[in-house]
Structure 1
Amino acid sequence: MKVVMLEMELEQLKMDVPLIFQYCVTDGDFRYYTRFSSKEVFNVFWESIEPSASRLIYWTMAQRTQDVPTPIPHRKHPLIDEFFMFLCRVATGLHERTMSTIFKVSKSTVSRVIVTWTSYLFLVLGSLPLWMTKEQVQSTMPDKFKLYCPEVRVIIDCTEIRCETPSSLSLQSETFSNYKNHTTFKGLIGISPCGAITFVSKLYTGSISDIEITRKSQLLQLLEPGDGVMADKGFLIGKMLSDVGATLIIPPLKKSAQLSAEDTHKTQEIARLRVLVERAIRRVKEYHIWDTLVPLTMTGSVNELWSICCIMSNYQGPLDVKGHV
């Protein structure tokens, strides 16, 4: 009888512990389920958003009440588990039906929580000053950059995520990417030499060119005279950069059948440094929500989710490129 009572007490204790701490015990668990680098980093992030998150009202309730003051709703799970539910969707790619089983709530509740947290995190993280000042870039610049391109302010590249094919032929044409041979959304990402993502454009339809996305993305408005922008050879944006006093840093183009020894060395070094932005993009795409085609039903929130993943990837720590950062 005593054993049964102890087992019941143990089960009750487990029920009182937030679900996130039942699944996430080690730093490895936190990396898998949340993409934060450790429990300590997760806690720092959570403590910074908890005061404002505690006043959240569900998206559907906000829609019904509009401007009428609404009391904070009763929650079926601790607030931290709602955040965990959002992370399970984004970081691990779990589907809503699976999460409804894990969290023991209806699928509609899962959907409501995810939509609410998407809007909230986009608002909070979007208010952070991502773009680094010249002084910040210089003070955090690795020695390799100081040696080969000390004027670089940002390293840019485009990336694409595949989406469902629209039924409309005109939309198919707009979203079709020749590079991916599929319908996609395309975005521009910029990082500082230290590896932190400092610029995230909104997503555009996949047919847009690198030149046009740079023009539309508002990046040019952030640049100052003397800034260097590192990119690959496909970014033929030298003229638009010169208009704002910035310069394009790309591997030297061939002027003869063979590059000179100096140009060959410069090409190799720029390529090694530019790989940082590819690593940063890979981190963003390791949020498993991007593993499958983005459904057209997600079009309204895809920009918010993309921005959240880009910004939260900065909490994973240094890119750890040996000899560079």
Structure 2
Amino acid sequence: MDSAARTIQQLKVQVVTLEHEIQQLTLKNQQPLISRFCVTDEDHRYYTRFSSKKVITVFWESVYPTASRLVCWSKAQQAAEVMPSPQRKLELIDELFMFLFRVAAGLQEKTLSSLFEASVSTISRIILIWTNYLYQVLGSLPSWMTREQVQATMPDKCRLYCPQLRVIIDCTEIRCETASSLSLQLETFSSYKNHTTVKGLIGVAPCGVITFVSTLYTGSVSDIEITKRSHLLQLLQPGDEVMVYKAFLIEKMLSEVGVKLIIPPSKKSTQLSKEDTQKTLAIACLRILAERAIRRVKEYHIWDGLVPLSIV
């Protein structure tokens, strides 16, 4: 009897221990996936490209009120015109995390399917919904800085040599898959990259803030034509200055709207004067701002390989 009582007592302790472990596992599984992957600020930078947990928390609190009303439609529901259930297979914040996984970390949809325990079609649909949602929300925010804002944040060296500088612009290309259509191949082929690409224009204020991003164009479109199509000229005012690299021949286009082009001064003799040398160095330092902005964009791992035509 004493032996049986001791055994029962030991089993009771084991039951309590196992119940506690089950409770902990249940709580862990109920936690958003982002809290399990992103513990440190370094984790957040790698998986989401946000600089810290604090920053992504502020962003999430900003978009949650409208994101919570997003609805996922399947093709069957669209065909039958049946409103889908508001219940979600994943936590809403995990849907955002999945989108960031795809864009920032570059994980493929098949990998995300295993990670989030959902079908590939569900993963694809959620990413598409969040892509469109964030494009509408963030695209509606004014990023173009006024002349007063640019002047107030302008570095001293820029104020000395380019006092009316409004924006530094540059074009960049992203390699994409080659289409089977010969006409589309011709449109997307870039002689500069010797590959099919999509191309966009980016603008940076003298303080380093990205203030303009164009839509993407096919690789065969020239930088000059992209500048014309992107409606950047409509944002500039007479008296403004625009900085570009030497091969960006848009001086005539800018002069028509009263805007001055800033490029490094050319040699008038065998050697630049002291003033021209200092101005060249100042312009070179400012030109790097656009290159750094483009680099920040291309650090997203979704660009590591060729961009599939399915997501263009």
TM-score by length of 2: 0.91
> Which residue, out of 205, 209, 214, partners 2:218?
205
Question: Which residue matches 2:39?
Answer: 25
Structure 2 contact 187–219 (Cα < 8 Å) conserved: yes
Matches within 5 A, 1:132-147: 132-147=145-160
Residue 237 of structure 1: how far off its partner (Å): 0.8
Offset from partner CA, 1:198-237 (integer Å, 9 cap, x none): 1111111112211111111100000001111111101111
The answer to which structure, 1 or 2, has the higher relative contact order (CA under 8 A, 6+ apart) is: 1
In 2, Cα distance between the equivalents of 1:184 and 1:198?
Answer: 23
The reply on whether 1:250 has 2:253 as its aligned counterpart is no
Matches within 5 A, 1:88-127: 88-127=101-140
Question: Which residue matches 1:304?
Answer: none
In 1, Cα distance between the equivalents of 2:153 and 2:83?
Answer: 45
Question: Which residue matches 2:6?
Answer: none
| Change in CA separation of 1:81 and 1:211 when aligned onto 2, cut-off 3 Å | same
Secondary structure of 1:40's partner?
A: helix
Residue 140 of structure 1: how far off its partner (Å): 1.8
Question: Which residue matches 1:38?
Answer: 52
Residue 62 of structure 1: how far off its partner (Å): 10
Count of residues in correspondence between the two structures: 298
Residue 69 of structure 1: how far off its partner (Å): 8.6
Structure 2 contact 173–199 (Cα < 8 Å) conserved: yes
Structure 1 contact 59–116 (Cα < 8 Å) conserved: no
Structure 1 contact 56–72 (Cα < 8 Å) conserved: no
In 2, Cα distance between the equivalents of 1:170 and 1:264?
Answer: 47
Structure 1 contact 159–188 (Cα < 8 Å) conserved: yes
Offset from partner CA, 1:34-89 (integer Å, 9 cap, x none): 101111110111101000000001153698179x7946521011100000000000
Question: Which residue matches 1:11?
Answer: 25
The reply on whether 1:155 has 2:168 as its aligned counterpart is yes
Q: Give the letter for the 1:54 counterpart.
A: S
Structure 2: stretches of 5+ with no match in the other structure: 1-13
Secondary structure of 2:206's partner?
A: coil
Question: Which residue matches 1:307?
Answer: none
Structure 1 contact 231–250 (Cα < 8 Å) conserved: yes
In 2, Cα distance between the equivalents of 1:127 and 1:160?
Answer: 24
Question: Which residue matches 1:181?
Answer: 194
Structure 1 contact 59–115 (Cα < 8 Å) conserved: no
Q: Give the letter for the 1:230 counterpart.
A: M
Matches within 5 A, 1:259-274: 259-274=272-287
Structure 1: stretches of 5+ with no match in the other structure: 300-325
Structure 1 contact 163–184 (Cα < 8 Å) conserved: yes
In 1, Cα distance between the equivalents of 2:152 and 2:70?
Answer: 38
**Which one has the largest radius of gyration?**
2
Offset from partner CA, 1:253-278 (integer Å, 9 cap, x none): 23444333322221121011110110
Residue 298 of structure 1: how far off its partner (Å): 1.7
Secondary structure of 1:188's partner?
A: strand
TM-score by length of 1: 0.87
In 1, Cα distance between the equivalents of 2:168 and 2:174?
Answer: 20
Structure 2 contact 73–84 (Cα < 8 Å) conserved: no
Offset from partner CA, 1:84-125 (integer Å, 9 cap, x none): 000000000000000111111111110010011011111101
Secondary structure of 2:167's partner?
A: strand
Kindly report the root-mean-square deviation, in angstroms, between the aligned alpha carbons of the 2 structures: 1.8
| Change in CA separation of 1:70 and 1:194 when aligned onto 2, cut-off 3 Å | farther
In 1, Cα distance between the equivalents of 2:263 and 2:146?
Answer: 22
Structure 2 contact 158–282 (Cα < 8 Å) conserved: no
| Change in CA separation of 1:59 and 1:277 when aligned onto 2, cut-off 3 Å | farther
In 1, Cα distance between the equivalents of 2:268 and 2:182?
Answer: 42
